[in-house]
Amino acid sequence: MKIAIIVPMQEEAEFYRKHFRSEDREMFGSTEFEHFSVNGNDIYLGLSGIGKVNAAMNLASLLSNVDIDMIFMTGSAGSMQDSVRKEDLILPSEFAYHDAHNTLAGNYVEGQIPQEPARYELSSDERNKFAKYLTDKGVKYKEGLVVTGDSFIASDVQKNEIKQNFKDALGVEMEGAAFAQVASHFNVPLVAMRAISDNGDDNADDDFDAFVKKVGAKAAKLICDYVENLN
């Protein structure tokens, strides 16, 4: 099986590099992907960069050149709910763009790009197996909507504006919906995991720097353990 592991930031990739031994590196598009062989599976680790365009561009470059069987996306997110706290894990069941406003362009809802679905649902056997793995290990996680946009949410004003349109959103970040859109067009299952690094409020900037490495490692360790036992 060929598995892609995509993360936005260098800090979030460090754990994978320490855990796996890179065999070679290859450029796909503008991103260098590291290649590992783990338990008979081919792993491609790459940095997407931050934001929707970088995420879409670099994942599409990989999928255009390698016959990937499944994609793991890990990284951090800000909380959108009081019940979602720092260091909580989210296994998104769907993504939407919180900064897509096209309701005046036709029969579209908030978050929907014309001619695309309103939300990208992550429903696959691969995701179900990973969810079962987390449950069997006693790992607590939340499932639900995560929203994506090209802004780092660091104020209560920004957060409340998003919540007006996405009351059910658990988290907010900058790449997930773009990954999901590309994966859906390539018909490759996406398994996403976000670890909460901040509350998406006026303290988010300070919190993010302190927590991003810690929560990134938390998610990465689970992915590494899963891949090492994947047949």
Cα separation of 171 and 148, whole Å?
9
Cα separation of 160 and 77, whole Å?
16
In our burial notation (b when 16+ CB lie closer than 10 A, e otherwise), range 167-203 reads: eebbbbbbbbbbbbbbbbeeebbbbbbbbbbbbbbee
Q: State the sign of the Cα–Cα–Cα–Cα dihedral 172, 97, 27, 43.
A: positive
Q: Which of 34, 94, 126, 198 is catalytic?
A: 198
Cα separation of 163 and 201, whole Å?
12
Residue 126 annotated as catalytic:
no
Residue 168 annotated as catalytic:
no
Pairing of strands 31-38, 41-47: antiparallel
Q: Which of 12, 34, 88, 207 is catalytic?
A: 12
Catalytically annotated residues: 12, 198
